[in-house]
Amino acid sequence: WAFWFMMQIAMLIGFACAYPMNALLIKLGLKKGM
């Protein structure tokens, strides 16, 4: 159970970190909207 719990937390953290970066890149025009 601990393994899956940590996996979920890692995914949430990864998503929380990746989303703002994607939004910033799209805003800067370096990356097309997905």
Q: Please say whether the dihedral angle defined by the alpha carbons of residues 29, 31, 32 and 33, taken in this order, is positive or negative.
A: negative
- The confidence score (pLDDT) of residue 20 equals 85
Read off the pLDDT of residues 1-34 as tens digits, 9 standing for 90 and up.
789 999 999 999 988 888 888 888 888 876 554 4
Check residue 30 and give its pLDDT.
Answer: 66
Please report which helix (H) or strand (E) contains residue 17, including its range.
helix 2-28
The pLDDT value recorded for residue 6 is 92
The pTM of this model reads 0.50
Count CB atoms within 10 A of the CB of residue 10.
Answer: 10
**Residue-level pLDDT at 8:** 94
